[in-house]
Amino acid sequence: MATPNTLWLGLVLLGTLGVLQMPAQASVQPNFQEDKFLGRWFTSGLASNSSWFLEKKKMLSMCISLVAAAPDGGFNLTSTFLRKDQCVTRTLMLRPTGTPGCYSYTSPHGGGNHEVSVVETDYENYALLYTESARSPGQDFRMATLYSRTQAPGAEAKEKFTAFAEAQGFTEDNIVFPPRNDKCLEERE
Ligand SMILES: *[C@@H]1O[C@H](CO)[C@@H](O)[C@H](O)[C@H]1NC(C)=O
Ligand SMILES: *[C@@H]1O[C@H](CO)[C@@H](O)[C@H](O)[C@H]1NC(C)=O
């Protein structure tokens, strides 16, 4: 017979298991304000240890991203970047996870689920983002991103990003500040 104590224990265990099954989350900007995060950002720093990234990193250039509010409480993240001499635009739909500043999306490459967190931002100059694959066997993708409101992130933002990336375990060789490429940096709606 279930006594109040065993019921309580069951709830605690279930609760704990529920937490254990959730993917690990990076820390998130406290009191994240979604409306202040909207608008135009430039991807001006990237860090990853994926072999794809390390192969391509010298060819990457800065890209422009527009963050728009989506009806489900998430964001549409529309990025324009240069690929094979052409500007390509892609939209990622970031779904809310219940934690403001933390979103999930399905990767257009291979369809895996990823989580992205706005770890730190002042909304007006910079944002530090951390992305990782939702925990499942064989997936270990992790990336740190520096967003800046202008095409010229200041030295301070770059230093912040380097320290942040290194704190996530990335090495100097994993970090790149992609150069500007005027071709695809105009704003489009
Ligand atoms: C990237 O680093 C993580 C640990 O930080 C490691 O588990 C993973 O295997 C690394 N990936 C590559 C492609 O080296
Ligand atoms: C978000 O993006 C999707 C796919 O591109 C599009 O269908 C939808 O209308 C967009 N929503 C907003 C609010 O921009």
Question: What is the spatial distance between Cα 176 and Cα 92, in angstroms, rounded to a whole number?
Answer: 22
Question: What is the spatial distance between Cα 137 and Cα 155, in angstroms, rounded to a whole number?
Answer: 38
Q: Whose CA is nearest to atom 2 of ligand 2?
A: 76
Q: Is 27 in the pocket of ligand 1 (CB under 6 A)?
A: no
Q: Is 78 in the pocket of ligand 2 (CB under 6 A)?
A: no
Residues of the chain with pLDDT under 50: 16-25, 189
Predicted confidence at residue 10, as pLDDT, reads: 52
Q: Is 76 in the pocket of ligand 2 (CB under 6 A)?
A: yes
Q: Strands 175-176, 126-133: parallel, antiparallel or unpaired by DSSP? A: unpaired
CA of 93, nearest ligand number = 2
Catalytic residues: 63
Q: Is 106 in the pocket of ligand 2 (CB under 6 A)?
A: no
pTM: 0.82
Q: Which sequence spans correspond to the domains of the chain?
A: 36-184
**CATH T-level fold of 36-184:** Lipocalin (2.40.128)
- pLDDT > 90: what percent of the chain? 60
CA of 133, nearest ligand number = 1
Question: What is the spatial distance between Cα 114 and Cα 142, in angstroms, rounded to a whole number?
Answer: 9
Structure-token pair, residue 95: 């779904």
> What is the distance in A from the centroid of ligand 1 to the CA of 142?
8
Atom in ligand 1 nearest the alpha carbon of residue 50 = 13
**pLDDT, tens only, 5-16:** 555 555 555 554
**pLDDT, tens only, 140-173:** 789 999 999 999 999 999 999 999 999 999 999 9
